[in-house]
Structure 1
Amino acid sequence: MKIKAKYRRRHPLASIRFWGLLMPGMLGWISGVSAAVTVPQVIGNNMVLQRDKPVSIWGEAAPLEKVSVQFKGQSLQTTADASGHWLVVLSPMKASATPATMEVSGTNKIVLHNILVGEVWLCSGQSNMEYTMRKNSKVASTSLPVGYQHSPVNAIQYAHNDEIRIFLGLRKSLEKPHPEHEGWSVAEDSALRSFSAAAYFFARKINKELKVPVGMIANAIPGSAIEPWLAGQITAIEPSSDQLYFDYSNPGKFYPSLVQPLAPFTLRGFLWYQGETNCFMNDSLQYAYKMQALIHQWRTLWGDRLLPFYYVQIAPFYYSKNKGDYALDTFSLPKFWEAQSLCLQIPNTGMAVTTDLPDNLNNIHPPGKWAVGDRLADIALAKTYGQKRSFSGPSFKYAKTVGNKLLLYFDHAEGGLKSSNGKPLDYFELAARDGKYYPANAKVIGDHIELSSKEVADPVNARFAWIESAQPDFVNQAGLPAVPFRTDSPYKNIKLN
């Protein structure tokens, strides 16, 4: 059955379609009208503008006031509308690490300094995305990862690269213009200490590989579920009828304060690290529908339905041992992983697996955010920037039974499959038609895995890493961990788009 989520309002305007509802809010204007020309916080000193794409510059002025914008030889004029909103679009520019100045003029003049042109990404989610470089500096020392001259734990000490710029969106003030236009900073010192570690390490690798400036915008909120980030309040979820219902007159808590004010600042794409709160809510398939909605809504807000959206699959953790409003078992997390994996069907998405990162399954914030940033960067370098490189661990493709064995085949198995520690592959299970699973012996045979179990004479199905505590050793030659799966998924025929 092909699944296509529908987005409707349950009020008198229920017949208005999803796309039409969002278009009036696409520009994400800051509220209020003033006599002086202003720009939103995200447009300021030290910012990075997106290369090779039309770049939106916008703000407010007195109604019908003439506004001009000058930058790198371009001079654009416009007139504020009756509400005082104005917008100009700069022609695409090549990457440049040479600082430039922008002038925005009306009855007053705004001069913005030290502006670069390169790659810009928006990073959002909850506490694992918010996890700061200050926290990263307190992680226990680690062996030196590939590509690092110094321990990533000590990254702040060596972070003096003027080509990496950071912007931290604050919920209580992002909607208001910054009087000094100082929202952006070079990624160093105190500004970097308060910034997302995963986002910084992503920027570090993108800058190193592409040799262009990188700007990172972060607006993650610890403890947040996905619902507050949506363009409307969910009034019903009915997967059985393939429908999500939204009340767009009542957006999610963070959407008007942390998402809309950033649009239409020109981006290359989005990074998303969220899900722990929704796993505690015992979400499974419904999370895939929510995430599909968020991706569509954000892409629509920015006016590009194909903006890359790369995300992190949450890490192993003892969810079932934590008391809350929902009864969770040891399979609740694997079912959530399954929902996250389903979202890979949506065009221009990618997922970083983190089953290998926790050092303590009672800690929901695993260290090693440099690995998260690097894996997201590898996805972007491969899928967005066209570099030939591994960006995913083995991902289940199909299975076939041969005698008393089940053979498993995988995507992203280039160069072969292996154990990360030289020990036998673990966390594989087999079941016959009775559906009872037993531990399986797993062997790498060429391009596939051979499973067998003395308890299962006629294997039909397999599952891998299907428990919340799973930290398996199954990787590809690039060392990237395999995606958890079950061959008997009840969602195998669901299609997201």
Structure 2
Amino acid sequence: MYKTILYLLTSTFLAANLSTAETNLSLAAPFTNNMILQRQAEVPVWGFDAPGSKVTVEFAGQTKTAVTDQSGDWMVKLSPLKASAVERNFKVKNNHGASIDLSGVLVGEVWFSSGQSNMVWVAGKSMCRDLARDLSTAENDIPIREININTVSALYPQKKATSDEGWKKAKEASGFSALSLAFAHELYKELNVPIGILLSAHSNTRIEAFTQRQAIEAHPKLKIDQDLIHDGDPLTGQGKKA
């Protein structure tokens, strides 16, 4: 049995307060070149900077501004966007002269994929290999993209997630999650809008590993999982005795 639980970083990293604040303008892991933003809903955009910095985000004719808090966090929310397969630029800047310029940004549907080995399995080695080949060799870019968010073992919510390669275009579809790619392709055929997959999966894990600690502790039927967490946490009474 596990003494620690694997937490999905992308769902929890904003909840933690770190003792040291960020000192340089940066964006959270899901925001890279070639990203896809969710259509028809407010889009939270967040990142890090020195406390008190004024941060401005510019995209699709919108300009949103926030002030970094004492923990070095900032967030703005873009107003709902229409789906668009036209690549556009995305700019973030602060009042100290720093800026981040992203390119190739689309707007469409963004879906979260998680699980264990059946979600990790890559398209190029699966029954989806022909689909992956067709997408990667298509004359025109098919707006199906994926970002793989790294996982880490942690007892507490983490402030930052990471992604080694950022958003990948369909030209690299053979490296996508096979199950995610098949799902995204069906959605694309049905909706005819860009489809983005945010993947965070790890072999040999249960769904509880991707569930917030607070949710597990509050659920009356997850006593076994609560004990696993508390046994592995040296800051709890159970952990000190374990």
Question: What is the TM-score with the length of structure 2 in the denominator?
Answer: 0.75
2:168 maps to 1:188: no
In the TM superposition, what whole-angstrom CA distance separates every residue of 1:90-119 from its partner, at most 9, and x where no partner exists? Answer: 000100001111111113100011000000
Alpha-carbon distance in 2 for matches of 1:197, 1:224 = 18
Judged with a 3 Å threshold, the aligned counterparts in structure 2 of structure 1 residues 99 and 76 are, in CA distance, closer, same or farther, namely: same
| 1:162 pairs with one of 120, 126, 142 | 142
Q: Is the 8 A contact 1:30 1:176 kept in 2?
A: no
Runs of 4+ off more than 6 Å: none
Alpha-carbon distance in 2 for matches of 1:231, 1:116 = 30
| Superposition deviation, residue 226 in structure 1 | 2.4
Q: State the SS of the aligned residue for 2:185.
A: helix
Q: Is the 8 A contact 1:163 1:213 kept in 2?
A: yes
| 1:112 pairs with one of 99, 102, 108 | 102
| 1:210 pairs with one of 188, 191, 201 | 191
Judged with a 3 Å threshold, the aligned counterparts in structure 2 of structure 1 residues 30 and 91 are, in CA distance, closer, same or farther, namely: farther
Q: Is the 8 A contact 1:49 1:117 kept in 2?
A: yes
| 1:50 pairs with one of 30, 38, 43 | 38
Aligned to 2:48: 60
Q: Is the 8 A contact 2:36 2:194 kept in 1?
A: yes
Matched AA of 1:120: V
Judged with a 3 Å threshold, the aligned counterparts in structure 2 of structure 1 residues 175 and 113 are, in CA distance, closer, same or farther, namely: same
Aligned to 1:134: 124
The total of aligned residue pairs comes to 205
Alpha-carbon distance in 2 for matches of 1:196, 1:118 = 19
Judged with a 3 Å threshold, the aligned counterparts in structure 2 of structure 1 residues 235 and 113 are, in CA distance, closer, same or farther, namely: closer
Please state which structure has a larger fraction of its residues in helix. Answer: 2
| Superposition deviation, residue 183 in structure 1 | 0.5
Query: Which structure: larger Rg?
Result: 1
Q: State the SS of the aligned residue for 1:93.
A: coil
Alpha-carbon distance in 2 for matches of 1:119, 1:167 = 14
Matched AA of 1:158: D
In the TM superposition, what whole-angstrom CA distance separates every residue of 1:117-150 from its partner, at most 9, and x where no partner exists? Answer: 00000000111111111221xx5xxxxxxxxxxx
Q: Is the 8 A contact 1:47 1:115 kept in 2?
A: yes
Alpha-carbon distance in 2 for matches of 1:236, 1:163 = 40
Question: What is the TM-score with the length of structure 1 in the denominator?
Answer: 0.38
In the TM superposition, what whole-angstrom CA distance separates every residue of 1:6-30 from its partner, at most 9, and x where no partner exists? Answer: xxxxxxxxxxxxxxxxxxx684569
Q: State the SS of the aligned residue for 1:76.
A: strand
Q: Is the 8 A contact 1:100 1:115 kept in 2?
A: yes
Alpha-carbon distance in 1 for matches of 2:133, 2:21 = 43
| Superposition deviation, residue 236 in structure 1 | 11
Matched AA of 1:125: G
Q: Is the 8 A contact 2:149 2:161 kept in 1?
A: no
2:19 maps to 1:38: no
Q: How does 1:294-443 map to 2 (within 5 A)?
A: none
Alpha-carbon distance in 2 for matches of 1:224, 1:47 = 27
2:228 maps to 1:228: no
Higher RCO, Cα 8 Å, sep 6+: 2
In the TM superposition, what whole-angstrom CA distance separates every residue of 1:75-103 from its partner, at most 9, and x where no partner exists? Answer: 01110011111100000010000111111
| Superposition deviation, residue 176 in structure 1 | 5.1
Aligned to 1:121: 111
2:72 maps to 1:84: yes
Judged with a 3 Å threshold, the aligned counterparts in structure 2 of structure 1 residues 38 and 208 are, in CA distance, closer, same or farther, namely: same
Judged with a 3 Å threshold, the aligned counterparts in structure 2 of structure 1 residues 121 and 30 are, in CA distance, closer, same or farther, namely: farther
Stretches of structure 2 that go unaligned for 5 or more consecutive residues are: 1-11, 153-157, 233-242
Judged with a 3 Å threshold, the aligned counterparts in structure 2 of structure 1 residues 97 and 182 are, in CA distance, closer, same or farther, namely: same
| Superposition deviation, residue 205 in structure 1 | 1.2
| Superposition deviation, residue 65 in structure 1 | 0.7
Alpha-carbon distance in 1 for matches of 2:16, 2:101 = 21
Stretches of structure 1 that go unaligned for 5 or more consecutive residues are: 1-24, 140-151, 254-497
Root mean square deviation of aligned Cα = 3.0
Identity %: 34
